[in-house]
Amino acid sequence: MPEYCSCGAQLPPDARFCHKCGKPQFDYPEPEEPEEVVVAAAPPVEAEIGFHNRAAVRAGFVSALLAFILMPLPLPPALQVLWLMACPVGAGFISGFLYHRRTGQRLRMESGARLGWITGVFVFLIVLVMVGIEIVYASANGGLLNNLRQQFAGKNPNMEQALKTLEDPTTMAGGLLLTLVLMFFLFTLLPVVGGALSGKVLDKD
């Protein structure tokens, strides 16, 4: 360590600075800058699709309501059956896009199928409520069988024979139960197909 500063002042032992001009007497090492630690962002967690998922329920209900509105669209008889099957499939497909747009999450085929099943349950419930209202209305206006006879009178002999068998209350109850079971499987399985397709499309997006 020097005894004199460059300004000529005599320095005391172990002086770090000159008491006259303030010049440092040796170089201090510059502090090292801490290295920036880059933390990789965790991948987004895919929310489980179920009735507890509000976004999934909302997307399923909106799609089911849209399908129900489009089902009665007047079409030739040859296309009517295909249209009634295409609407639930389309509802399941649209529900996947609505859910993806609202949440930004990418669907897979499995999650899309679950979303389609939720949509199908809503389709079945909406149809069930409307059919129940029609049955109540028909019962209050001459009975269900009489209304059916008026609609199909002279149009189809087989239908008239089927209506005769429904005069038995047990047969009527069994027919309604079978119809409900078939409706449930039809309106829940078809949207599952559409939901799986939307999941496959969005998984590649």
The shares of helix, strand and coil residues in the chain, as percent rounded to the nearest 5, are: 65, 0, 35
SS3 107: coil
Stretch among 15-24, 103-112, 145-154, 190-199 having the lowest mean pLDDT: 145-154
Please report, rounded to a whole number, the percentage of residues in the chain having pLDDT higher than 70: 62
**In this predicted model, what pLDDT tens digit does every residue of 10-60 receive, in sequence order?**
667 766 666 667 667 665 555 666 667 666 555 455 678 899 999 999 999
10/161 Cα distance (integer angstroms):
128
| pLDDT averaged over every residue in the chain | 79
Q: What is the pLDDT of residues 81-102, one digit of tens each?
A: 899 899 999 999 999 999 999 8
C-alpha span between 150 and 164 (Å, rounded): 13
In the chain, where the domains are located: 54-203
Lowest mean pLDDT among 5-14, 82-91, 137-146: 137-146
Output the 3-class SS for 7-62. CCCECCCCCCECCCCCCECCCCCCCCCCCCCCCCCCCCCCCCCCCCCHHHHHHHHH
Q: How far is CA 184 from the centre of its chain?
A: 20
Structure tokens at 168: 């038995």
Q: Which of 181, 162, 182 is nearest to 172 (CA)?
A: 162
Residue 50 · residue 110 · CB < 8 Å: no
Q: Give me the pLDDT at residue 176, please.
A: 77
Q: Which residue has the tokens 């630690």?
A: 37
pTM: 0.66
pLDDT at 173 over 80: no
4 closest CA partner among 27, 30, 28, 23: 23
